[in-house]
Structure 1
Amino acid sequence: MKTVALIFAGGMGKRMTSSSCPKQFMVIKGKPVIVHTLEKFAKSPFVDAIVVVCLSNYVGYLKNIIEEYRVNKVLSVIEGGRTGQESIFNGLSEIRRLAEGNPIVLIHDGVRPFISNETISENVKCAKKNGNAITVAQAIETIAVMEEGQTISEVYERSKCVLAKAPQTFYLQDILEVHKQAQEEGITDAVDSSSLMFKYGKKLFTVKCSGANIKITTPEDFYFARALFDMEEDKQLKKL
């Protein structure tokens, strides 16, 4: 396999206060969010295989869902760790166990179902050319630094600012080495893999995506996601 999607489905969804289950298993348009996400990668010709990192007590449940919805390309569903960083490392280690050589790995959030095949393909192309690819969206509002919860200490030029999203794409060997280095230095809760790569002096290359590539983390996101699914259905109907 030359490209593997590593899907992180380990969050508890603490900000989704109205939900009785983890956000990745909430149902939108008749399917759990995680299924919508997995299907995007399963259908992409640029992805050879999928590995999913999941909450330990939901591994069996997720395997059943994958079978029920007949999502192909999923090679393994494994338990996550205590933090997001540890969970991603577990997934990378599983890919190391399963794959020969040095595949490209697209690290993606299970609750980010609006990833397009174009963004997936551009990530793979960019990684092949430059060694990595970080999906970003152009900032459309002013970004400022706030101190002590009251005052603004710095305002950035909006045209130079982007929002880091997903997938974040690397060669397996490169991202594994950075994760191992972080562990050796006692770093266990990095925000994401691009932050680790940047910390250790790696030059990062970007792929732009639309603002629709949202991460569903709050009740407001859930309602916005339903509207985006309606928009996708309208586009498909217009093509018929």
Structure 2
Amino acid sequence: MKNIALIFAGGSGSRMNTVSRPKQFLELNGKPVIIYTLELFDNHPQIDAICVVCIKSWIPFLEKQLRKFEINKVVEIVPGGETGQDSIYNGLCAAERWTKQNNRDANVLIHDGVRPLITEKTITDNIVACSEKGNCITCIPATETFVVHEPDGSLKIPERKDSLIARAPQTFRLADILEAHRTAISENRHDFIDSCTMMSHYGHVMNTIIGPMENIKITTPTDFFIFRAMVQVHENQQIFGF
């Protein structure tokens, strides 16, 4: 069983309020955010290939960055679609092409290009859980109370101890997630907010692992400042050993 990382970098980043470039290409210490993310998968010994979904006009720039930073496992870059769901499907089709060329089944780890603060352990835990149970959703414990609006207008407040927040990677058997996407397409559904929501909708029981709290998605300027601070912490740990 092979392991393919599918990195989604198709968003424009309107909440980041940047004019010159999308959020995944913002630079810290001369390196784009997406390269920080890709390095984690490229360096992981159990990741066999990487497919990237990218804004079409930025693909040439990304290709240059892959060469510059010696990212070697990217096998295909594909443009995004009309929705996030469509973009992920484009990436899954690229992963399917790679598996057919290599005549192997695969797990696929779907991850946001703007989540550069995951760890090698998180990737490993996803691979192990998916290999054993068929899927895996990276989560963190809820630190605040959720309030859910019910269809009848009432409010439901789940117990915090029973609540998790889904993040990424979200890992599946490639054949299973492709089947779910193709079912959604046949039903003209293009509005699933993420992969685990889609898989749950089509009857798959989801399994979870707990990932690091710092595994944030860089969506706003505040997120970028947190990312910058965390990179500095990691650099200090290497130098000073704390």
Verify same fold: TM over 0.5.
Answer: yes
In the alignment, does 2:126 pair up with 1:123? yes
Q: Is the 8 A contact 2:137 2:167 kept in 1?
A: yes
Q: 1:76 — aligned with what?
A: 76
In the alignment, does 2:24 pair up with 1:13? no
In the alignment, does 2:105 pair up with 1:102? yes
Q: Distance in 1 between matches of 2:15 and 2:202?
A: 31
Q: 2:178 — aligned with what?
A: 176
Q: Distance in 2 between matches of 1:197 and 1:236?
A: 40
Q: Distance in 1 between matches of 2:192 and 2:156?
A: 23
Q: Is the 8 A contact 1:4 1:105 kept in 2?
A: yes
TM-score, with normalisation over the residues of structure 2?
A: 0.94
Q: 1:56 — aligned with what?
A: 56
Q: 1:140 — aligned with what?
A: 143
Q: 2:167 — aligned with what?
A: 165
The runs of 4+ residues in structure 1 deviating greater than 3 Å are none
Q: 1:234 — aligned with what?
A: 236
Q: CA RMSD in A?
A: 1.6
Q: Distance in 1 between matches of 2:228 and 2:26?
A: 12
In the alignment, does 2:188 pair up with 1:186? yes
Instruction: For residue 78 of structure 1, report the CA deviation from its aligned partner.
Output: 1.1
Q: Is the 8 A contact 2:8 2:53 kept in 1?
A: yes
One-letter code of the match for 1:128?
Answer: S
Q: Count matched residues.
A: 237
Gaps of 5+ in 1: none
One-letter code of the match for 1:73?
Answer: K
Identity among equivalent positions (%) equals 45
One-letter code of the match for 2:83?
Answer: T
Q: Is the 8 A contact 2:118 2:212 kept in 1?
A: no
Q: Is the 8 A contact 2:117 2:215 kept in 1?
A: yes
Instruction: For residue 101 of structure 1, report the CA deviation from its aligned partner.
Output: 2.6
TM-score, with normalisation over the residues of structure 1?
A: 0.95
Q: 1:205 — aligned with what?
A: 207
Q: Is the 8 A contact 2:34 2:113 kept in 1?
A: yes
Instruction: For residue 139 of structure 1, report the CA deviation from its aligned partner.
Output: 0.5
Q: Is the 8 A contact 1:29 1:229 kept in 2?
A: no
Gaps of 5+ in 2: none
Deviations 1:192-222 (A, max 9, x none): 1100000011000001011100000001101
